Structure formats: structure tokens, C-alpha cells
Amino acid sequence: MLPVMAWRPLVAAFSITCILVYTWLGNLVPNHQTFSGHGSLQPIPKKIWQINFNHPHYARLKEFVATWKDGNPAYEHTLLDKQAGEDIVRKHYGEHSEPSKTYLELGSTILRADYLRYLVLAAEGGFYSDLDTHVVKPLDEWYSEPPNRPVRALIGLEYDQLGGPRLIKGMYMPLQFCQWTLAISAHHPLMVSMVNSVTRDIQKLARSHEVALPNLSPTNEEVLRTTGPVQWSREVFAYLSSTAGTEVTHLNLTGLKEPKLFGDVMILPIDAFASNLGHSGSRGSVSNETLMWHTFQGAWKVEAPKPTSGSS
């Protein structure tokens, strides 16, 4: 056995290592958050968040925004523009955390719009929905909690392959969850994990493009996989699996006809947020299960380069 004096440098080195690791982890989550289990989570707050980074069709989307604000008068409605988004990130994440630095340096509007919804919901919680959506049922009617089963997140399906071949281009998993509309409690581990993953993968994407964050210009597929529904779906499945104590896959949810609770996360069937898809088993019109309506007027997709004169 080593003498006591010989152990002291080793103990000191170990302590310094622990401090460095703790500091690094602290940079990945909002600077005020600590987690002591689901019991510390509060109900989904009565807050509605939407984002407008100079949407080209905002003038005609205002009536949709009004359905969220005016149709839910008991809820605080916040429409975040570029400056307000940066302000709220600084408020909750400081200036020097990895999420804050990554978000504030990021130049891509679509990556920012995706990223901001996760940052805000991780910090404050509430309901988020894209500008090109409108409410069908008041938010207070969206869910009810079973006895002794608190609901701390509402997540809907955007795609269900239903056990067959891939139905449409742009879907990369047999079942995907939508992130055009979602609701969650503040500080929920699922959303904090999403913030961490998006932060890491945006930085990784910039390195793969060999550009700084202000100059990052992702492809449509890179958006879907880095900040969009593919990334979100991976995080949701991972959280559901950890809650269930066994792997949860599309096989546990395909063909879902009624809400299903995994721990504190309620998964909603396709018609809740996507009844007008025309695929994935959706009805194609408003049904009794429809909670909101997505008009698919987003302006985020990158247009394919047009052929130059003389090219084939």
C-alpha cells in the first residue's frame, strides 16, 4: 500500500478531473437546472410559444396565430422574433454555456428555429406550435391525466409506416414524432437531452462542412437529422425506453388509435396533430381526435440548385 503522502497527488488530480467534468456537463444544460427525478417536475405550464423569423407568409398566417392566442385566453402567448429569441437564450443559458454559444453563433435560420423551440421548452416548458398551424380544440381539452399518472409531455405522431414499405420521401424511420407542435414541462429530462444532442450535432455538422457556425448552410436532410423530426424521434424513443425499462420501438406504437402513456410522456395517435396527412393511417380531414391542424406552409426547405444555361 502507498504511504499517505503518496496518495495526496492522486486524490488532488482526481478531484480536479471531477471538477472539470462537472463544469463541462454544466455547460450543456441551462445554468440553473438540477434534476432530482420526475417528482420535481411541475405540470405543463399555460404558456404558448411560437417563432417568427421574418416568415415570408406571416401576413396570411396571422389568423392562425390568433387561434392560439385568442382561443386560449388563460394561456400566456409569446411570439419570438430573432432578438427576443436571443434574449431568452441569454436569460436562461447565460453567455458562455455550450447551448448559448452555439445558438448565438449559428447563422442558419431553420436550424435556429428548430433549436430555439427546444431551448425555450427545456427552460420554461409549455406548448409550442409552428406559425402555419391552428388550434382545433382548446388546449385545456387536449388531455386528461389518469389517476396518479401525471402527464408532463404531449407528443404526436407525424409518420407511421404501418409495417409496410416507406410511404413518402423524407422519412427516415418507420415511425416519427412531430415537432411542429408539442408540449412539455420545464426542465423535463427528455427536452434537456434534446438540447444536449442538438448542441453536439450542430457543432459536429459545422466541423464536417469545415465552416464556422455563422456560415453553416445545411441540406434539407441534414436539417431533418440534426434539429428536425429524425433527431427528435431518436430522443423520444430513447426516453420512452428508459422509462419502460425495455426497448421501445415503432412496433410498440404503429397503428396507435388512442393516447398511450409511457411514464409521464403521453404519445398521441396520428390524428391528434396530423389528421390531414393523407397517409400513415390519418383520416385526411378533421376528426373528433384532431387537436390542431397543420397547413404545411413552412418556408424552410432549401431549393435544389437550378441548372445553368447549357447544362443537361
- pLDDT, tens only, 13-72: 444 344 333 333 444 444 433 323 344 799 999 999 999 998 888 888 999 999 999 999
Task: Tell me how far apart the alpha carbons of residues 199 and 202 are, in angstroms, rounded to a whole number.
Answer: 5
Q: What pLDDT is stored for residue 302 in this prediction?
A: 47
Q: How far apart are the first and last CA of the chain?
A: 77
pLDDT band at 299 (very low <50, low <70, confident <90, very high): low
- pLDDT bin (cut points 50, 70, 90) of residue 296 is confident
Residue 126's region, left for phi above 0, alpha for psi from -120 to 50, else beta, is: left
Whole-number pLDDT of residue 26: 43
Instruction: Provide the b/e sequence for 163-186 (b: ≥16 CB within 10 Å).
Output: eeeeeeeebbbbbbbbbbbbbbbb
CA separation, residue 74 to residues 51, 116, 139, 269 (Å): 20, 24, 10, 26
What sign does the CA torsion over 151, 153, 154, 158 have?
Answer: negative
Q: How far apart are CA 275 and CA 134, in angstroms?
A: 13
> Considering all CA atoms of the chain, what is the largest pairwise distance in Å, rounded to the nearest integer?
81
pLDDT value of position 278: 79
pTM of the full structure: 0.84
Residue-by-residue DSSP string for 70-104: HT-TTSEEEEE-HHHHHHHHHHHHTTTSHHHHHHH
SS3 155: strand
Neighbouring residues of 270: CB distance < 8 A, sequence distance ≥ 6: 156, 157, 160, 256, 277, 280, 281, 282
Nearest one of 72, 62, 79 to 142, comparing CA atoms: 72
On the question of pLDDT at 185 being above 60, the answer is yes
Residues 6+ apart with CB under 8 A from 5: none
The confidence band for 309, taking pLDDT boundaries of 50, 70 and 90, is very low
Determine the Cα–Cα distance for residues 197 and 225; give it in Å rounded to an integer: 11
Query: Are the C-beta atoms of residues 185 and 41 closer than 8 Å to each other?
Result: yes
Handedness of CA 172, 176, 182, 183 (dihedral sign): negative
The three cell numbers locating residue 166: 416507406
Number of H helices, E strands in the chain: 9, 10
Q: pLDDT band for position 282 (50/70/90)?
A: confident
Q: Which three cell numbers stand for residue 119?
A: 431551448
